[in-house]
Structure 1
Amino acid sequence: MPEINIRVLCEEETCAALPALAEILSDCVEGGASVGFMQPFAPKDALPFWEAVCASVARDETVLIVADVDGRLVGTVQLGIGTMPNQPHRADIKKLLVRRDARGLGLARRLMEKAETEAVKRSRRVLVLDTATGEPAEAIYERLGWMRAGVVPDYALMPDGRYCGTTFFYKHLAL
């Protein structure tokens, strides 16, 4: 059994992990994940995104959660807590990413469970997210008890340029 560690990174840890985070994002986009970027997408292309996440962690607007397998960073999810003043009870789940070579270990579930735990710690009881319609992540969220709010056709592009619908989900947490 591999040793799996799910943890929250502080600003300094996030900055130190930038190369590994860039590798994860690049791997997912190159594998076809619709997470905002287009192919080709090298790790160097992902660095500006992660630098912005690091700054958001520093401002306490984002909680960055990562998965290590045998000491190697292979997955991540973000809890967006930098909401408007009328939404202090809500948070956004952003960029659930697991390297293709680390899938099948239950990391997506464990990352999402940790995100929910971190949301509750911050009194966030409504979580929202969006995902590409018909992609594997959609089924993951349904299995984890997320409620489908609806689908917007042709909302985004897949990394190869094809249009894709986006499914919006929400989940209420007990505080």
Structure 2
Amino acid sequence: MSESVAILFDPANPQHTSLIPAFADIHIACIETDHMIANFIPPLKRDVVIAWWNDRVADVVDGKRLIFMVFAQDAEGQDQLAGYVILYRPLIEDGPFRAFVEKLLVSPNFRRRGLARKLMEKLDTEAKLRGQTLLMVDTETGSPAESMYPKFGYIRLGVIPNYAVSPKGGSLMPNTFFWKQL
């Protein structure tokens, strides 16, 4: 694979489902390397993170979530799962057009290659095809993602203080919320 392309995760494809441990490994790496607020607090238990990912895959089967993934070549020229993003689609009657962006994570080994942009472009395209034109996302205030989302067209809504427990030290951290109309 010479150029990285974001693709839709297919739970019926055994090659895709075999990647669940790799999804968990990226998740863990982002928490441990960047102290990213991402559902879990160290010490991390890989089996718990894998179970969390199995639940996300079950939501894909049920139509509640879409998972987009991107591959990139490692130092040996082998294609590896490099990142992913989730589109949560609650499919509620009074807001079938709303969806939430979750877990835009790129492995620390594959950053600065434009992979997050490729993932978000694919997410936007697929969301719009499915009629979900109002997207919302939140991220830790002060994180690199906070400055990244406006580059993807998201508008800052505001900050909620003391929103989540930091994996570094356990202090309460604020979160910034964004929205985007497709």
TM-score > 0.5 by shorter chain = yes
Is 2:76 the partner of 1:67? no
Deviation at residue 36 of structure 1 after TM alignment: 1.5
Number of aligned residues: 173
Q: Which residue of 2 aligns with 1:124?
A: 132
Could you tell me how far apart the structure 2 residues matched to 1:89 and 1:168 are?
18
Q: Which residue of 2 aligns with 1:8?
A: 8
Could you tell me how far apart the structure 2 residues matched to 1:156 and 1:23 are?
22
Give unmatched runs, 5+ long, in structure 2: 74-78
Q: 1:155·1:166 contact (CA, 8 Å) conserved in 2?
A: yes
Please list every run of at least 4 consecutive aligned residues from structure 1 whose deviation after the TM superposition is greater than 4 angstroms. none
Q: Which residue of 2 aligns with 1:133?
A: 141
Alignment deviations for residues 56-77 of structure 1 (CA, whole Å, 9 cap, x no partner): 0000111100010032001000
Could you tell me how far apart the structure 2 residues matched to 1:48 and 1:124 are?
28
Is 2:167 the partner of 1:164? no
Alignment deviations for residues 143-166 of structure 1 (CA, whole Å, 9 cap, x no partner): 112101110011111112121101
Q: Which residue of 2 aligns with 1:79?
A: 87
Q: Give the letter aligned to residue 118 of structure 1.
A: E
Deviation at residue 82 of structure 1 after TM alignment: 2.4
Bigger shift: 43-52 or 126-135? 43-52
Q: 2:155·2:179 contact (CA, 8 Å) conserved in 1?
A: yes
Is 2:53 the partner of 1:50? yes
Q: Which residue of 2 aligns with 1:17?
A: 19
Could you tell me how far apart the structure 1 residues matched to 2:45 and 2:71 are?
21
Deviation at residue 135 of structure 1 after TM alignment: 0.4
Q: Give the letter aligned to residue 28 of structure 1.
A: C
Q: 2:5·2:118 contact (CA, 8 Å) conserved in 1?
A: no
Could you tell me how far apart the structure 2 residues matched to 1:44 and 1:171 are?
34
Q: 2:59·2:65 contact (CA, 8 Å) conserved in 1?
A: yes
Q: Give the letter aligned to residue 78 of structure 1.
A: I
TM-score (norm: length of structure 1): 0.93
